[in-house]
Each structure stands twice: as C-alpha cells, then as structure tokens.
Amino acid sequence: MNNIFEYPLNEKTRTYLKLEYIFSQIMETKNINVAWNYKVFFIALFELIEILEQINIKRELVKDFDTKIREFNQYKKLENVDQEALTTFLDELKTKQKKLHDMKRVGQFFREDAFLKSIKQRLSIPGGTCNFDLPNLHYWLKSDENEVNLQVNQWLKEIEPIRDCLFFWLNLLRNSTKFHCQTAKKGFFQSQHQLGDLLRMSFNDAHEIYPVVSGHKNRFSIRIRSFHKEKPLPDEIEFEMAVC
C-alpha cells in the first residue's frame, strides 16, 4: 500500500490544490442534517468564498483551458492520432470553458445572502454558533429536510462550474506524467531542471515516513522524515515520483 503526497511548484497550483481541498470538505458535509456537518460545511464554504473573492480563479482556469485547447489542436495535423477521440476531448474542453464564461461572480451572490452573513459573523467566535447566538440557524437546521437540501443545493449551484472545471483540470494535470522510480540517500533527494506545476511522490506505507519538500518549478529538494523519531531511516529509500 502506497501513500501519495503532493507539493505545488507554483502559486497557481498551490491555490488550485487548496480549493480542491476545500471543495472536498464542502461536498463531504453537504448533508447538513447529519450531526455537526453544518459547522464544517459553513467554515469550508466561507473559506472558499474568501479565496474566490481574492483571486480571479475563473480567469485563471479560462486561460488554462485556452492553452490546453491550442496544444491539442496541434495534434489534428498528425496522422497517427485518433481524430475522433481528439475531437471528443476538445469538445469537452470547450464545454467546460463555456461553463466558466457563463457563470456569474460568485462573491456577490453570497455577500447578498443575509442568512449566510449572520452565520459568518458568529462562526469565528469560539462557541459562536450556539442556539442562543444563532437562533435563525438552529431553526433552519430543524426545518423540513427537503427545504434545507434545496437551499444547500442552491448555494452549491453557484460554485459548481468552478468545482467541475477545477477538478477536471487537476485530473488532467495529475495524469499528464507517469511515476518513475527514484532513490533518496540518507533521507535526501534533490532534482533540478524538471519543469512542472505539481510534484507527486509515492511512498510505501511500511516505511512510516513522509516528505518535507522545498523548492519551485525547476528545482526542488525532498527531505524524508520518519513519523516515529526513534525509528532510524534506512540509508537508501526507494520511492516513485512524477513532476506534472
């Protein structure tokens, strides 16, 4: 059994991974009626909105899709390419991109929601979501389950184009490069001149280790740490690595 670790090699990929992490929390806890799901859901939702207001993710993704469309259009000139599969893939890229073009500004919709604003104001205060501080929230949580789910789905609908396109893009990125075997000596590995956006590392769980990475898009180093400090590292550790 292997454990995969990832490290962004530029700021854009760092932001994309953070958004993916937050979106995953939202999707895992969107069933508000499960005990305490609501708190994780709202914390993640407000974190997401804050990032989307600070950074124009829509514009960045549109540019990424433009680059990818131009790249794959070049393959139309090659004879040994499955043109039908290529056309299908390009159509999918263009459909995703259009979803981004057509979406409204996310921040404005959520800023205008008085109910969400009241929750956000109390959420950062320890114990601030108690029923006596947020009676409107606790009334809503006890409302008809279908109505609650309808409201949650309405919020999610506003951010769905970003989530869909982001997950699609990261899947493309992760699958753009295969893993290759590497060896860390005395717990250290360094790589140069490997341009990429995302570093992926796969370690055998039996070693009980994790990587500490530093670097940027064309140079990085990996220091391997034992989770149990009393357990020494072997002189050589084999692992798999992909620079995507």
Question: How high is the pLDDT of residue 207?
Answer: 83
Torsion of CA 10, 12, 14, 17, to 10 degrees: -140
Q: CATH number of the domain at 180-243, out of 2.40.37.10, 3.40.50.300, 2.60.440.10, 1.10.268.10?
A: 2.60.440.10
Q: Are 58 and 51 in contact (CB under 8 A)?
A: no
Q: Are 199 and 9 in contact (CB under 8 A)?
A: yes
Rg value, the chain, Cα:
22
β-strands 180-185, 236-243: how paired?
antiparallel
List the CATH code of the domain at 2-174. Answer: 1.10.3900.10
Residue 170 is classified by DSSP as H
Question: How high is the pLDDT of residue 47?
Answer: 95
Locate the domains of the chain by residue range. Answer: 2-174, 180-243
Q: Are 163 and 216 in contact (CB under 8 A)?
A: no
> What type of residue is 30?
K
* pLDDT tens per residue across all 244 residues of the chain: 789 999 999 999 999 999 999 999 999 999 988 878 999 999 999 999 999 988 899 999 999 999 999 999 998 888 888 889 999 999 999 999 999 988 887 777 788 889 999 999 898 888 888 889 899 999 999 989 899 999 999 999 999 999 999 999 999 999 999 999 999 999 999 987 678 999 999 999 878 999 999 987 778 999 999 998 878 888 999 999 999 9
